[in-house]
Amino acid sequence: MIVIPRNRLAGFVDSSGFTSFIVGVILVNALVLAVGTYETLDERYGSTLHRISDLCFVIFVIELLLRILSYGIRPWNFFSSGWNIFDFIIIGSVFIPGGRENATLLRMARLARLMRVVRLLPDLRVLLLGVWRSVPPLLSVAGITAALLFVYGMIGWLMFADAIPEHWGNIGRAMLTLFVMLTLENFPNYMYEGMDVHPWSWIYFVSFILIAAFIVLNVLIGIVLNSMEEARESEQRKSVLDEHPERAGPVVDLDASAPVVERIALLRAALDELEVELSAGSVTEPPPSGTVEPA
């Protein structure tokens, strides 16, 4: 990763006070949108609400310009961050030709500004990044779950299609019934209904719940927790590089999915600190073997 240099304005736009102010404006914008849903309040205070909303938009535009200017003579570096592109699209959507004349599009653009809270609050960024990192492994688990639903659905169709066609009449209905059972919704009803057809069918239902509901769902939870940990390590690494850009190297990728990369980066930073201490003479070398230190 190469750290992009920024000027002194960056310290202001990245400060906690400025961020808190922008979050406050976003909340005011949300309150205006909420009040506008009440017809009586909108008729009475509609013009005031629109002026407040326009003021919030002006503040957002100024904030966006300040963030772009914080990159100095290379403002295009602003678009090197996905979060910055996210902000630019949300704020700039109002300037789409015909956007301000289209009431629905304008309201959607105002509503989208609320999503900027994710970009401004670190904990929400970690949460969203963790969910994003968990998507690839979740797709594999989804494939296994679909195969499991198909196999059990075929068995359920063979066992109950004639007696309970509304739930097991075809493979689609059978898989849908099993999918509802994954949430344990009406599981006892489905099981007792099946036992009325085949008394030993409880084995079928219990085995499905043990495999699908308990094992698969626990695997899903484990994947999400692991992705959250990776996202947290990545966010910590980013904060370290923001405070100490001299530690960045071209090999480190903050968006890598493997936590090993972040750990290597942290080890590299620790080795750099150790080299500085050695060069400064703060670490004392041990005496050569065979020599006796004076008492």
State pLDDT tens for residues 247-256.
444 444 444 4
Q: What is the CATH number of the domain that holds 92?
A: 1.20.120.350
Q: What's the rounded Cα separation, in Å, for the pair 43 and 30?
A: 18
Examine the pLDDT at 209 and tell me if it is beyond 60. yes
**What is the share, in percent, of the chain residues with pLDDT greater than 90?**
12
Q: What's the rounded Cα separation, in Å, for the pair 71 and 129?
A: 25
Count of positions (residues) in the chain: 295
Residue 1 lies in a domain: no
Q: How many domains does the chain have?
A: 2
pLDDT, position 258: 45
The alpha carbon of residue 264 and the mean position of all alpha carbons in its chain are separated, in whole angstroms, by 23
141 and 186 part of one domain? yes
Last residue of a domain, which of 86, 120, 154? 120
Tokens standing for residue 263: 């750990």
Residue 295 lies in a domain: no
Residue 256 lies in a domain: yes
Residue 15's domain comprises 9-120
Indicate the DSSP class of residue 213: I
Confidence of residue 67 (pLDDT cuts 50, 70, 90): confident
Q: For the whole prediction, is pTM greater than 0.85?
A: no
Helix (H, G, I), strand (E, B) or coil at 243: helix
231 and 260 part of one domain? yes
Residue 153 lies in a domain: yes
- What would the mean pLDDT of 67-88 be, rounded to a whole number? 82
